[in-house]
Chain A
Amino acid sequence: MEALREGRPVALFPYGDRVLLWVEHPGGQKGALGLTEAFLLGERRRFPSLAAEFPALDWFERALWERGFEPVGHPGLKPLRRHDLPYTFREFPLLHEVPVGPVHAGIIEPGHFRFSVLGERIVNLEIRLGYQHRGLLSLMPGKGAEAALLLVERAGSEPVAHAMAFAEAWERALGWEAPSRAQYLRRAALELERAFGHLGHLAGLFTDIGYAYGATQVGRIRALLQGELDRLTGHRYGRNFLRVGGVWREGQPDLEAIAAYREELARLLPRLLKNPQVLDRMRYVGEVRRAKALALGFVGPTARASGVGRDLRQDDPLYPDFTPVVRQGGDVLSRAQVYAEESLKALDYVLFFLRHLPAGPLALDPPLGEGEALARVEAGRGEVVWFVRVEAGRVVMAEGVDPSFKNWRALELAVRGEGLPDFPLCNKSFDLSYAGSDL
């Protein structure tokens, strides 16, 4: 409880009939911002709910409830991913209701948004997901490393980060580490994935405010960077690249070209973000305050744009002098600024890792054996978590958390009091993964 007050929950998942909670807090076991794990009190699938005091646990407990656990004293249980259970939206008797989705107007994933509006002002937004639920976690037990990675790479829309967290958890479970050349290549792919994703968020934001020049130019460089990710990993999104024990291949991206794209972006992005049209539409819109970001346990750029300076890469010794990009505004513009600055830094790291590749093998076969471990990776959208228990080269149990799962409620907060037409802009400023949340 003390740990939760000072820190933030990382994951909460079933472990047999018990419930295992992971908390990141200043007094944690490992380093200044370590993790502590603890079983919640209770027996036979019943445990005392903490969601009323720690709203960051709300969705975690609802997900557990759907899986047959009982959070005793939860303030308002509703299904999250299961659509066979009854669901009721919160009612606002005198307000007009605007239902949107699951099928949206653009080319995006499905989800349902229920707006309660007074005129054009949004008084409340309730997000209902689960449309993308594919039962991914239930397919994991019994899988070997390769088959498990196929699923993990399809958990959310950031395959490299998911695969990296899963592979590290597996390797850590066996008390083993991948060779250092693979470590560098994994991080190069991760940073390229981050730059590609962030530029996608920016291009989308410019599209949503009708700034065609910005959208086209950022989209152009993004497409070129995707080509480099393709060259490095052999896949346009970086799938089939990581393996437990290292990486499968080492492609030849054009480092000169990446450096040139970075220089062009460094000139272009600050100019685009100072455009009066951009400032007018993005500043002071969709604000998420720091206190709420902390209380609800938001992660990644969403948290950092609201003044929470946490980035898992701080703890990674392979990153030379890493400092997180932080903005205080909490609005759409702050998030855009974080994306812009982080994408430039990400490309710097791509070049750093690929120019300093240590000699050695791309992969080694980890020993067979048994063990369990949790690993986290800072993906473009925030921390990806995988916990795995392995025995004799097979998954016994695995649990994953996509950063979007922790961040969806930031969108509910951001649009409160905003005009309905600003919703797409606010939504794009988080650009969360539906599939990652629904698993």
Chain B
Amino acid sequence: MSLMHTLKVGRLARKLEEILKVPQHAFGYPLLKPAGLTPRVREGLIHLCPSGAFAEVEGIFSLDLARCVGCGRCALAYPEAVGEMRSLEVAVTRKEDLVQRVDLERGGFLDPGPPPSPRTELRLPILAFREVSAGDTGLADSEIALLGNPFNDMGRFGFQVVASPRHADALLVTGPVSRNMAEALRRTYEAMPEPKGVVAVGNEAISGGVFAGSPQVMAGVDRVVPVDVYVPGDPPRPGAILHGLMLLVGRMTQRLVGGVLR
């Protein structure tokens, strides 16, 4: 009976291109439209965003993807100024590539230059990783766990979870790193053999997210251990995390430069 049922259900694994796309019904990652950024709109955006992702400093208007909670209210209220990126290939190797900066005088995006070339010693055909949740609500953890479900099936891409840091090539970290977890995170990292990589998964892991102002958190994984890849999202969908892993092992490239897909 179970066998019949399994056969009837059939194959579930989705194609890689499909996993890496934002599903049709959902809001993707916001993208500024420089032409629509009038003073009234800019003020409106800064006032509207509940998580403070927009800012204006000395003629530069910016949108920090690592502060965006993905509610999509900006794109609804100001469609002339905020569009959408519908790819989940958003993992980056340097934090500044998560910020869109528009020069208001010249009216275009600032280009921070090509991202540094990724490390080569982690180009492994099979990558074993360990996960540490450090103040995460459990949802980014859940998304990492769901990478192993029959739809995503990360095993076919050569990624597997291991129980001990001693067996791990990479460490995935979620959460803003609560003070009470900082020591455990450091020791987990130290227990890993070289070469080792670290992926910060989710906005809280990148810069503390909504907990950034709390004295109880370190506000970012890179304040405790060195980070190779940042995956923005709140929490990032499994596809975005998969792109982060692919970027770490050099099988995919970084597409987000200066916060814009290239």
Contacts and interface: CB of A to CB of B under 8 A. Distances in A.
Interface of A: 81, 83, 102-103, 105-110, 130-136, 138-139, 146-147, 149-151, 154-157, 159, 200, 213, 216-217, 219-220, 223, 227, 230-231, 234-237, 239-240, 248, 251-252, 268, 271, 433-435, 438
B135 A134 contact: yes
Interface in B122-138: 131-138
Interface of B: 1-2, 5-6, 9, 12, 23, 25-27, 50-51, 69-73, 131-139, 141-146, 149-151, 161, 163-165, 175-176, 178-181, 184, 188, 209-211, 213-217, 234-235, 237
B217 A216 contact: no
13 contacts: A108-B138, A133-B216, A150-B210, A151-B210, A154-B137, A157-B142, A159-B139, A220-B149, A220-B150, A227-B23, A231-B25, A235-B26, A435-B137
Contacts of A81: 180
B215 A110 contact: no
B50 A237 contact: no
Nearest 5 interchain pairs by C-beta: A135-B216, A105-B163, A157-B138, A240-B71, A146-B50
A147 B138 contact: no
Given A108-B133, A150-B210, A251-B25, 12 more contacts: A83-B179, A106-B161, A107-B131, A107-B145, A110-B181, A136-B211, A157-B137, A157-B139, A223-B149, A223-B151, A234-B72, A240-B69
B9 A217 contact: yes
Contacts of A435: 135-138
A227 B149 CA distance: 14
Contacts of A251: 25
Contacts of B23: 227, 230
A139 B180 contact: no
Nearest to B215: A135
A239 B234 contact: yes
B163 A103 contact: no
Given A150-B210, A157-B137, A134 B71 contact: no
Contacts of A132: 133, 135-136, 175, 178, 180-181
A151 B211 CA distance: 8
A360 B144 CA distance: 39
A131 B136 contact: no
A359 B47 CA distance: 31
A147 B50 contact: yes
Nearest to B52: A147
A136 B184 CA distance: 21
Contacts of A133: 135, 178-180, 216
Nearest to A83: B180
B2 A434 contact: no
Contacts of A248: 71, 73
A107 B141 contact: yes
Contacts of B214: 134-136, 138-139
A163 to B, nearest CB: 12
A167 to B, nearest CB: 14
Contact of B213 (A139, A146, A159): A139
A116 B181 CA distance: 24
Contacts of B69: 150, 239-240
A252 B23 CA distance: 14
A106 B163 contact: yes
A227 to B, nearest CB: 7
Contacts of B142: 157, 200, 237
A287 B135 CA distance: 30
Contacts of A159: 137, 139
A370 to B, nearest CB: 22
A231 B25 CA distance: 6
A130 B181 CA distance: 9
B177 to A, nearest CB: 10
Contact of A134 (B6, B146, B178): B178
A108 B141 contact: yes
B26 to A, nearest CB: 6
A231 B150 CA distance: 21
Contact of A105 (B26, B137, B164): B164
Contacts of B135: 131-134, 435
B150 A216 contact: yes
A109 B50 contact: no
Q: Residue among B25, B134, B146, B188 with the most chain A CB within 10 A?
A: B25
B207 to A, nearest CB: 14
A248 B69 CA distance: 14
Given A83-B180, A217-B5, A235-B70, A110 B133 contact: yes
Contact of B25 (A103, A108, A252): A252
Contacts of A139: 211, 213-214
Contact of B210 (A154, A219, A235): A154
Nearest to B3: A213
Nearest to B152: A223
A230 B150 CA distance: 19
B78 to A, nearest CB: 16
A231 B142 CA distance: 18
Nearest to A254: B25
A370 B135 CA distance: 33
A102 B133 CA distance: 10
A110 B134 contact: yes
A148 to B, nearest CB: 10
Contacts of A156: 137-138
B150 A110 contact: no
Contacts of B178: 131-134, 438
Given A220-B150, A434-B138, A130 B215 contact: no
Contacts of A236: 143, 235, 237
A159 B137 CA distance: 9
B157 to A, nearest CB: 17
B181 A150 contact: no
A235 B179 CA distance: 29
